[in-house]
Amino acid sequence: MNKALLFIPDISGFTQFVQNTEIEHSQHVISELLEVLINANTQNLQLAEIEGDALFFYKEDPVPSQEKLLAQIETMFSAFYSHLNILKKNRICSCNACATAPNLQLKIISHAGELQFIDVKGNRKPFGNAVIEAHRLLKNSIDSDNYVLISNELIAGIELPVAYKSKLFNFHQGSDTYDAKEIGYQYSKIEPSKLQLKAFEEPKFVSFEKPPNLTFEKNFHVSAEVLLEHITNYKYRHDWAEGVDEFVYNENEVTRLGTEHICVINGKHLNFITVTKKGKPGQIVYGELTESPPPVDQLYQFFIITPVSEKECLLNVETYWKAKSPLKKLLIALFVKRIFIKNTEKAIQRLQLFLDKGVL
């Protein structure tokens, strides 16, 4: 029986992160990171299981070469930390989950051994001592939460030199004993600053040379964080945004700068992207931009939340629109502006009623 690769990326700090932060947003963050790691699979590894905060991959013969394995490890670390960078720089939510997500780390366990398989409701699952050993290696004596561990069993197959060094990797020898059996390995702590992180376009702060076309103001007897969650969590939009047939969005993603969603109104798809602009100190500014609704060329709507106390905040809604042609400007003045006023006033009233139910 040929040996197989067992490969386990595990998000470090998951338990404390979930227990000490807002549950829904922490679940979204972990889901996003697991999806990022799955998409970073370049060696056609088979995903056997999603194990809470970890992924269990395997690959039957042939096991990837030393070069391909190290490249796969680097790719996953780079993808992971690139996404943490986005979470850090593009967040608008001030909750503990979104604020502390960039502190998460990653460890990867790589092992090799003979695999057996069992069938669970038509799904082929790896089974055997090698699987048990790979998972036990997650509990080791390495004084770090950000590293790669390669067992001696795998090292022998890929011929990784003792204490291998490169720009990213600096391997050291180690071992731990499990059920009276010592398992040796090499490990390398990973320094995120040495990774080639994926570049992304940082959203720009929008600025305007004129006052908003429409403004509304209302006090809410909830915290600023609760009000922000009701506005930015699109699963609540049906409860206060009237006239929308459907909201299309990524349910496993925390809303941040650059995220997109679609409003379907009378069969028409209106595309929105999250933006922001400068606010006063202490204010939370969430904005949306669409270029979809005629006759407007661009429509910006900002929800500006100013905390008053722990259980009270002030909401200012500012709407800006841009129309290039004189005809469009005339249509807006004659018809569209009144519709915007009516819809915004009604939405704010419905939002107040929704909040009064104490959903969150």
For 320-358, write each residue's pLDDT tens digit.
999 989 988 888 888 888 988 998 999 999 999 999 876
Residue that finishes a domain, picked among 194, 223, 243: 194
Same domain flag for 13 and 90: yes
Mean pLDDT of the chain: 91
Residue that finishes a domain, picked among 170, 194, 218: 194
Please count the CA atoms within 13 angstroms of the CA of 245 that sit on its side-chain side. 7
Q: What is the pLDDT of residues 233-279, one digit of tens each?
A: 999 988 898 888 999 999 888 899 999 999 998 888 999 999 999 99
Is residue 199 included in any domain, yes or no?
Answer: no
Helix 23-39 and helix 66-89: axis angle, to 10°? Answer: 150
3-state secondary structure of 348: helix
Same domain flag for 185 and 221: no
Mean pLDDT value across residues 161-180: 94
Same domain flag for 346 and 251: yes
Mean pLDDT value across residues 292-311: 92
Same domain flag for 67 and 37: yes
Same domain flag for 142 and 270: no
Is residue 200 included in any domain, yes or no?
Answer: no
Same domain flag for 17 and 159: yes
pLDDT band at 93 (very low <50, low <70, confident <90, very high): confident
Amino acid at 66: Q
Same domain flag for 236 and 128: no
pLDDT band at 137 (very low <50, low <70, confident <90, very high): very high
Contact (CB, 8 A) for 221 and 311? yes
Mean pLDDT value across residues 96-106: 89
**Structural domains in the chain (count):** 2
Provide the pLDDT for residue 111: 97
Provide the pLDDT for residue 220: 95
pLDDT exceeds cutoff 90 at 294? no
How many whole angstroms separate alpha carbon 149 and alpha carbon 258? 35
Task: Tell me which of 21 and 200 has the higher pLDDT.
Answer: 200
Contact (CB, 8 A) for 8 and 138? yes
pLDDT band at 215 (very low <50, low <70, confident <90, very high): very high
Domain CATH code at residue 257: 3.30.530.20
Amino acid at 107: K
Provide the pLDDT for residue 165: 96
Same domain flag for 148 and 255: no
Same domain flag for 68 and 155: yes
Same domain flag for 168 and 214: no
Residue that finishes a domain, picked among 139, 171, 194: 194
Same domain flag for 130 and 256: no
Query: Residue 213 sits in which domain range?
Result: 205-356
